[in-house]
A = this chain, B = another copy of it.
Amino acid sequence: MEQSRIIEIKEDILSSNTNAADAFRATLAQEGTFYTDIMASPGADKTTLLLALLPYLRKQGEVGIIEADLASTVDSQKIKEAGVDAVQLETHGICHVDMNMVEKSWAAFGGKHYDFLFLENIGNLVCPAEFDTGAHRRVMLLSVPEGYDKVYKYPPMFSVVDALIVTKTDYLPLNPDFDMAALHKQARVLNPNLRIFETCARTGEGVEELAAWLCECRTTSVV
């Protein structure tokens, strides 16, 4: 009985979350703000990749970043030190970000216009996949040291994203078993339209290409 009560409540929540997400997505498109949700395991280089993208994106417009964590303000401080507006969203232990949190975070920017909005989601390759955060694109990072064999273990995340961004390619020499071709193949079996980027925030590999893709997506997403 408990199980069915949970499923019922969960469906209610997900459905009302999706409605709010659709409305938010449309409003941001009207306002000219292109919004990307970045998901990954802890330590996959989400913040570092964002910092590497900033010089390219800031040539195109204003950038704002929502930094979500269970607790702490470590990441939003790093972003602010780079001269970019950031709002720290602390979920107080909650494993994902929902629309209620997104709306409160967005309001905390105080009505300023942004051409690019990013949500750095909770470091979690499981739960965030279920919650639409109202973004125009959802992307996931997978770092080379995590290993390439993650598609079969975390299928929901690989299924819902528009792009897979492999990070920390400078670790490849230390990971001779990392089978990049197999990763591409397995990910595209699950998600045939997936864009795949191979990047390294430290060396800059692939970062300009990723920035160009985001700019291209922006032109088709906002009014």
Contacts and interface: CB of A to CB of B under 8 A. Distances in A.
Interface of A: 2, 5-6, 9, 12-13, 41-44, 69-72, 74, 93, 95, 122-127, 143, 145-147, 149-150, 152-156, 168, 170-171, 174
29 contacts: A5-B9, A41-B42, A41-B43, A41-B125, A41-B146, A42-B146, A42-B153, A43-B147, A44-B146, A69-B153, A70-B153, A71-B152, A71-B153, A72-B152, A72-B153, A74-B152, A74-B153, A93-B155, A95-B124, A95-B127, A122-B126, A123-B125, A123-B154, A124-B124, A124-B127, A143-B145, A145-B145, A170-B174, A171-B174
Given A5-B9, A43-B150, 11 more contacts: A41-B43, A43-B143, A70-B126, A70-B154, A93-B156, A95-B95, A95-B124, A95-B126, A124-B127, A171-B174, A174-B174
A46 to B, nearest CB: 11
B43 A146 contact: yes
A126 B91 CA distance: 11
Contacts of A69: 153
Looking at A5, A74, A153, the one whose CB has the most chain B CB atoms below 10 A away is A153
A71 B155 contact: yes
Nearest to A151: B72
* Identical copies in the complex: 2
Contact of A150 (B42, B152, B154, B168): B42
A13 B9 contact: no
B125 A127 contact: no
Looking at A71, A126, A155, A168, the one whose CB has the most chain B CB atoms below 10 A away is A126
Contacts of A122: 126
A47 B153 CA distance: 13
The 6 closest A-B pairs by CB, nearest first: A43-B146, A72-B152, A145-B145, A95-B126, A43-B147, A41-B42
A134 B168 CA distance: 37
Contacts of A143: 43, 145
B154 A42 contact: yes
